[in-house]
């Protein structure tokens, strides 16, 4: 049991070492850029059911990292006025679509699988974002 | 010095880069950089207690979950149990993509189906350990609704991928 706890602690510590600097870096980036772009978010993200999730999904597709980093980024952008529709597509595409990791995915899982999966997940992230917002509107 | 820097993780390099950016911003416009830094500290102080909670959950998951156990249930003849284990594995195993792909490549060599790989890769947003952060930023209703859709769509993507990959037949074992 003690051995298991030690192994679990070391694994968790590795996770912290990997994630915390990334999260701190993202928070620093957002805190620096938000005052500069604050006025533009509402002009770009108007709540349009096509363009907002499309922009969000494109941004998420070219970003990478553990999912929690996307929640921090998306959450901070939401506070600054980016629509929930765009932010939802962004956080989904972040972990479901891996454009930057496509060469690695192709080499390990095959070209056809990687290209089909990423293309399909891009559209799924947009679909889930739209469905989520519609569902939340119905619930509320 | 350079060797030490090269050994740092991508996240640590990114954080150091941002510190340099703040220093440059401070030289150009000190009040702007100071205001941005105060905003950063305010955001960080709100997030830290949640991250402590997140890592307590991760520790518990690491203590009781052994990826080797899940690996055994993702083989060629895994059936419905395989779909359940693929979903379970993807929500509980917390690894970055550059670790995930080689792991799945290894499982593919041992007979893991393409459909299960698609399920595995589609569910990574529903990791219980990170859900408190999602709830903090987006609310409980959002977290529940989006998680349900993610799980449903990951199964759908698994079914579609199994159809698309059919021409190659089943994945060979060994």
- ipTM at complex level: 0.82
- In the predicted structure, residue A95 carries a pLDDT above the cut 90: no
**Binning pLDDT at 50, 70 and 90, where does residue B169 land?**
very low
Give the residue carrying structure tokens 């991928």: B161
State the CB neighbour count (10 A cutoff) for residue A14. Answer: 12
Nearest CA in chain A to B38: A31
pLDDT computed for residue B167 by the predictor: 42
Over residues B122-132, mean pLDDT: 81
State the CB neighbour count (10 A cutoff) for residue A104. Answer: 17
Mean pLDDT, chain B, whole residue set: 81
Q: What is the rounded distance in angstroms from the CA atom of residue B87 to the CA atom of residue B81?
A: 10
Q: Using the beta-carbon criterion (under 8 Å), do A136 and B125 form an inter-chain contact? A: no
Nearest CA in chain A to B124: A95
Q: State percent of chain B over pLDDT 90.
A: 28
- In the predicted structure, residue B49 carries a pLDDT above the cut 80: yes
Give the residue carrying structure tokens 């701190």: A24
pLDDT computed for residue B21 by the predictor: 95
Over residues B7-32, mean pLDDT: 90
Q: Using the beta-carbon criterion (under 8 Å), do B150 and A66 form an inter-chain contact? A: no
Say what the pTM is: 0.76
* Residue A46 exposure: Cα atoms within 13 Å on the Cβ side: 5
CB of A62 less than 8 A from some CB of B: no
pLDDT computed for residue A23 by the predictor: 82
CB pairs under 8 A between A and B: 186
- In the predicted structure, residue B18 carries a pLDDT above the cut 50: yes
Q: What is the rounded distance in angstroms from the CA atom of residue A50 to the CA atom of residue A42?
A: 16
Q: State percent of chain B over pLDDT 70.
A: 83
State the CB neighbour count (10 A cutoff) for residue A82. Answer: 22
| Residue B8: strand, helix, or coil | coil
Chain B CB contacts of A26 under 8 Å are 14
- In the predicted structure, residue A129 carries a pLDDT above the cut 50: yes
pLDDT computed for residue A38 by the predictor: 66
CB of A102 less than 8 A from some CB of B: no
Q: B118 or B91: which carries more pLDDT confidence? A: B118
Over residues A43-63, mean pLDDT: 86
Chain B CB contacts of A91 under 8 Å are 125
Determine the distance in angstroms separating the CA of A53 from the nearest CA of chain B, rounded to an integer: 14
End-to-end Cα distance, chain A: 47
pLDDT computed for residue B170 by the predictor: 45
Q: What is the rounded distance in angstroms from the CA atom of residue A30 to the CA atom of residue A24?
A: 10
Q: Using the beta-carbon criterion (under 8 Å), do B94 and A22 form an inter-chain contact? A: no
Is the separation of the CB atoms in B114 and B165 below 8 Å?
yes
How many residues can be counted in chain B? 174
Burial A62-79 (b: 16+ CB within 10 A, else e): ebbbbbbbbbbbbbbbbe
Mean pLDDT, chain A, whole residue set: 86
Nearest CA in chain A to B134: A71
Q: Using the beta-carbon criterion (under 8 Å), do B55 and A12 form an inter-chain contact? A: yes
* Residue spans per domain, chain A: 2-139
**Quick one: how far is CA A98 from the chain centroid?**
11
């Amino acid at each position: 049991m003690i051995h298991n706890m030690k192994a679990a602690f070391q694994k968790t510590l590795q996770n912290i070492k990997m994630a915390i600097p990334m999260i701190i870096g993202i928070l620093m980036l957002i805190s620096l850029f938000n005052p500069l772009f604050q006025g533009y978010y509402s002009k770009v993200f108007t709540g349009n059911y096509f363009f907002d999730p499309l922009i969000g999904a494109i941004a998420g597709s070219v970003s990478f990292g553990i999912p929690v980093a996307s929640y921090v980024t998306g959450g901070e952008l939401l506070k600054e006025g980016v629509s929930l529709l765009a932010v939802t597509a962004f956080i989904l595409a972040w972990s479901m679509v891996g454009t930057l990791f496509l060469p690695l995915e192709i080499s390990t899982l095959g070209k056809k699988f990687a290209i089909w999966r990423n293309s399909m997940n891009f559209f799924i992230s947009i679909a889930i974002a739209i469905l989520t917002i519609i569902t939340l509107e119905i619930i509320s | 010095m350079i060797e030490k820097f090269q050994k740092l993780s991508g996240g640590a390099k990114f954080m150091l880069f941002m510190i340099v950016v703040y220093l440059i911003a401070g030289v150009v416009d000190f009040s702007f950089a100071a205001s941005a830094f105060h905003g950063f500290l305010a955001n960080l102080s709100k997030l830290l207690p949640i991250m402590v909670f997140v890592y307590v959950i991760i520790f518990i998951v690491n203590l009781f979950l052994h990826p080797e156990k899940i690996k055994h249930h993702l083989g060629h003849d895994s059936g419905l149990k395989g779909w359940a284990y693929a979903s379970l594995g993807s929500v509980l195993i917390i690894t970055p993509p550059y670790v995930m792909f080689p792991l799945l490549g290894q499982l593919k060599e041992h007979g893991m189906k393409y459909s299960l790989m698609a399920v595995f890769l589609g569910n990574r947003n529903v990791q219980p350990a990170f859900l408190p952060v999602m709830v903090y930023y987006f609310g409980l209703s959002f977290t529940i609704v989006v998680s349900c859709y993610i799980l449903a769509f990951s199964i759908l993507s698994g079914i579609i991928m199994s159809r698309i990959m059919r021409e190659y037949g089943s994945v060979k074992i060994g």
